[in-house]
Structure 1
Amino acid sequence: MRRFVGLVAALAVAGGLTACAPAVPRTGTASAPVATGAADFLVFYADGAQDAARAAIQRAGGTALGAEPKLGYLLASGPGDAFVDALDGDPAVAGVTGDRLIGAVTAARWTGTEATRPATALHALPATTARPATAGRTAMPDVSGMAGAAAEPLAKRQWDMRMIGADRANTRAPGTKKVLVGVIDTGVDGKHPDLAPNFNRALSRNFVTDIPKDREGQEVDGACEVKSCKDPADVDDDGHGTHVASTIASPINGVGIAGVAPGVQIVNIRAGQDSGFFFLKPSLDALTYAADIGVDVVNMSFYIDPWLFNCTANKSDSKKQRQQQRAVRTGMQRALDYAHAKGVTLISALGNESMDLGRPTVDTASPNYPRGSERTRGIDNSCLNLPAEGKHVISVSALDPAGRKASYSNYGLEQADLSAPGGDGGGLSTTRSILAAAPENALRADRKLDSSGEPTTSEVIRDCTPGDCSYYQYLDGTSMAAPHATGVAAILISRFGKPGKGGVRMDPGKVAKLLYATATPKACPAVRACEGGKSRNGFYGRGVVDALKAATVKP
């Protein structure tokens, strides 16, 4: 994972506000963001305290610029840290975080060509560090006598799908195009041959603007790939989101692989920067948008930066830092509540720190922006990793090919709801990792392809069996586990959802109940770290997701 959970991260110091034309919603009413100018701060107000918060902003020397009543915050300008300090302790204010542009994107030089991005840590754990001189294209597997997903060219490499019965489930219940799956991530390559048939371009949106450098001159996303620095909604310059989307819904089309639910639609709802940071406001916008257009289930393989754990009153944090973490907790939970109330099933990766989230003691990864700001601070179970520990969220731990908790996967009796394949290559073998689609542009930027398009690493597979070549990569992480659960949820919604305006709808509580009922219970191994019984424990939650049971369970 990068800071994604496989893990995608996000900054709480958000990028500037950008206007986005509203989509024609499948259900409900979609709305554009409430303001188009860059604000200094997001000021979250206590329930029913919008007017009091406006007054507090004015007393602190600031100006309220606009409001987002759906999630209960005001956009405000103010005199820097003194503004935050003045609001600290005001009963009308639930949290304050910066919303200032951290980079001057309009001044960025655009080369008109793909730019090489900075060498940052991967969102997902890389499958291997080996770099063979040539990896070549994959050999065509023997698929004689096979049908459906099993006949896909790379099906034999998908141990993950066999583990959860997806290779047999998707010939019975592939899912329906009436189900919309939102991928809140770094983007989705909507032109990839193994995603395009299921990609809904009309509803897809990008809520971020690329940031070449921050105000201190640190490189964030690198040079912009397009003149506006705002990538089209069918582009993924990173690859993490495309991998997630492919695991969920790559179609059965004679190309590459098949996803868990190969018949549903994917909606790209981008909230992550090219560099892997996830800012607070784009993440809030993404969840709100998903709810407003009638998305059925969203996959969230990320956490909100700059805090791995968000505490409300950590004595080692400054006033500004405490307000920032309160804002993340308040804003994300309100967004999760809003989406849940609108019928969105929320699924998240659990994280890759090999940590018991029920007993955290030390956070050494925060704040991770600006880079180099990390320090060691003591924490406890009152501090939350978000969105994984948010209310209404189904959080997923990762399994290795043997069905054990992956070595890197977080766990916790309170936090782990389900488990699913995430891989555990550990730099030893790609055959232990998860294979899914990859954008060619991102692979070239990372120098994983040579000038002729041949892979330079065993992490990447080129499939040219249909004629035109497409690319796939092996990754590990709870980011890779969560989309398996999301795909199973999409199967259940396809089967049991009730007809609605333009699609089907299903109460998220009922989706969760069926996910748990169809999961295969798995007992703790004989290790002290795993708590709980077979029906629910800290390593596997309520069990391993099972696509075949989801496809065949009786109503």
Structure 2
Amino acid sequence: MAAPLALAVGGGLCVAAPAAEAAPAACDTTSTPYTYVVTYQPGTRASAVEKELAAKCGTKVAYYAEIGVAIASSRNADFQQKIGVYRAYSGAKDVASAARTSLSAVRTLEDTRSVAAAGDLSAQQWDMKAIHAPEANKIYQGSRAVTVGVLDSGIEATHPALRAAVDARSSAGCLTGAPDTAPEAWAPTASDHGTHVAGTIAGKDPAAGFTGVAPGVRLASVKVVNDAGYIFPEAAVCGFVWAAEHGFAVTNNSYYIDPGMFYCPRQPGDAAAYEAVRRAVEYSTRRGVLNVAAAGNDSLNLTNQTTDKNRPHPLDASCAILPGMVDGVVTVSSVGYAGTKSYFSNYGKIDITAPGGDPFQEPKEGEGPECPLSSVVGGGYGAKCGTSMASPHVAGVAALLASKFRGAPPRFINQLLESEADAVKCTATETECTGPAKNNSYYGHGVVNALDAVR
């Protein structure tokens, strides 16, 4: 700091006071507010978090001290810069500030095809037969002590196949980044994606002949998909922490964090989103949750990308789709009726595979549509394709294993999933498929097997 000026006044010496520092600019009170994830050292006191946020024109929405992640709201365009560009990120602001078409977080390949519920639908569930779920159901259907969190667009709890499974007390909406247990906060409003996923995991409707993988377990609806189809980091963080703190054994995550698809831990903004989600996933894993995630539907080699088509920025080996590429998450690719990789399925970093359908792999007459059949909003049934549909098959089998081995750590359940999977070799025409039958880039350790999980 420069020394104060010495001035001669009336033959004496006096010291002029230093110039006053400029008052901080007033916070913006009129612009659109955006929600941010903000990282802190884990264990930082909530009072310190609130003080910093207020000083930098933000307000606390939620704070997860165990992982040092705050959810904050601010109207200030420079809030991220005030906090630090490596500590704060807003997916919604990123979307609003860029000229881009709306991205759908659901990312299924087809709109839902309605299926009449008359008669016995079991004959049309070729996907369940592919993983030996009908035989497994005759032996064991899972325990009511096991809860699977469906982090998705909400579950229709009144659906005939789901009303016995959905646990309202364990359900919450996480769209703001803070859990809301009001039923309307976790119910579907704009998408039947979560209801479809839920049916695959634990649906059971004897009148329609429909049965999911583990109809004996409970489901929790954890809503992370907003009505525009986005899953922002704050919603996922809330969902994983909720799962950790409510004793879920498994979560299913048929999405990737928007507006990605890749987040890079060494890039501004990305670093905060990456770290916030990574910490939340790691925390849930430490608390006994096995997290299962879809690999994605862009026919990409996840380990060999240099650009992000959704949000152009350079990629390196540290960049990842979230949450599927976070350590400890079971990443699931998709196969169609013929048992080969769905044309759309991502590959490269794959742990296991399951039926997600393929419009080009047509089932035999009477065995159902090309895409897996499951519950949809309105009490009906429909077919959807995608790795989003493959992932809940694995989550269902994981729930059977968690039921059989109560209290077993996630790593143990994951090891059983992999060791009991049915190996799938790369074919001569699958030139991008590399690795042995029991661990390759298309199918991971193979097709998940429900029967082996229960016997």
Q: Name the TM-score, length of structure 1 as normaliser.
A: 0.67
Counterpart in the other structure of 1:337: 282
**One-letter code aligned to 1:395:** T
CA contact (8 A) 1:57 1:64 kept: no
Q: 1:158 to 1:76 in 2, by over 3 A?
A: closer
**Equivalent of 2:440 in 525, 537, 542:** 537
Distance 1:197 1:77 in 2: 38
Q: Which moved more, 1:259-268 or 1:421-430?
A: 421-430
Q: Is residue 185 of structure 1 aligned with residue 177 of structure 2?
A: no
CA contact (8 A) 2:161 2:204 kept: yes
Counterpart in the other structure of 1:472: 381
Structure with larger RCO (C-alpha < 8 A, sep 6+)? 1
Q: 1:207 to 1:158 in 2, by over 3 A?
A: same
Counterpart in the other structure of 2:353: 419
Counterpart in the other structure of 2:424: 522
Distance 2:71 2:237 in 1: 14
CA contact (8 A) 1:304 1:386 kept: yes
Distance 1:159 1:275 in 2: 32
**Equivalent of 2:335 in 370, 387, 399:** 399
Q: 1:155 to 1:47 in 2, by over 3 A?
A: same
User: How do residues 45-194 of structure 1 correspond to structure 2 at under 5 angstroms?
Assistant: 45-46=40-41, 57=52, 61-62=56-57, 65=60, 67-75=63-71, 80-88=76-84, 95-98=87-90, 123-127=106-110, 137=116, 140=119, 153-194=120-161
**Equivalent of 2:244 in 287, 291, 304:** 291
1:488 CA displacement:
0.5
CA contact (8 A) 2:118 2:208 kept: no
Local SS of the residue matching 1:419:
strand
Distance 2:190 2:59 in 1: 35
CA RMSD of aligned residues (A): 3.3
Counterpart in the other structure of 2:320: 384
Q: Deviations over 1:370-390 (max 9, x none)?
A: xxxxxx444233211000001
1:519 CA displacement:
0.5
CA contact (8 A) 1:252 1:262 kept: no
Counterpart in the other structure of 1:318: none
Distance 1:262 1:485 in 2: 14
**One-letter code aligned to 1:549:** D
**One-letter code aligned to 1:406:** S
From the CA coordinates, give the structure whose radius of gyration is larger: 2
1:253 CA displacement:
2.5
Distance 2:58 2:313 in 1: 34
1:312 CA displacement:
3.4
Q: 1:249 to 1:380 in 2, by over 3 A?
A: same
**Equivalent of 1:489 in 398, 413, 416:** 398
Distance 1:56 1:529 in 2: 52
Q: 1:198 to 1:76 in 2, by over 3 A?
A: closer
CA contact (8 A) 2:264 2:319 kept: yes
Q: 1:101 to 1:137 in 2, by over 3 A?
A: same
Distance 2:274 2:232 in 1: 13
Counterpart in the other structure of 1:408: 344
CA contact (8 A) 1:169 1:547 kept: yes
**One-letter code aligned to 1:522:** V
Q: Is residue 438 of structure 1 aligned with residue 372 of structure 2?
A: no
1:483 CA displacement:
0.3
Q: Deviations over 1:421-453 (max 9, x none)?
A: 00002698872111000002xxxxxxxxxxxxx
CA contact (8 A) 2:439 2:445 kept: yes
1:139 CA displacement:
5.2
Counterpart in the other structure of 2:3: none
Counterpart in the other structure of 1:362: 307
CA contact (8 A) 2:92 2:232 kept: no
Local SS of the residue matching 1:363:
coil
**One-letter code aligned to 1:437:** S
CA contact (8 A) 1:236 1:242 kept: no
Q: What is the percentage of aligned positions where both structures have the same residue?
A: 32
The total of aligned residue pairs comes to: 408
1:42 CA displacement:
3.1
Q: Deviations over 1:238-258 (max 9, x none)?
A: 100000000000125333410
Gaps of 5+ in 2: 1-32, 96-101, 177-181
Local SS of the residue matching 2:330:
strand
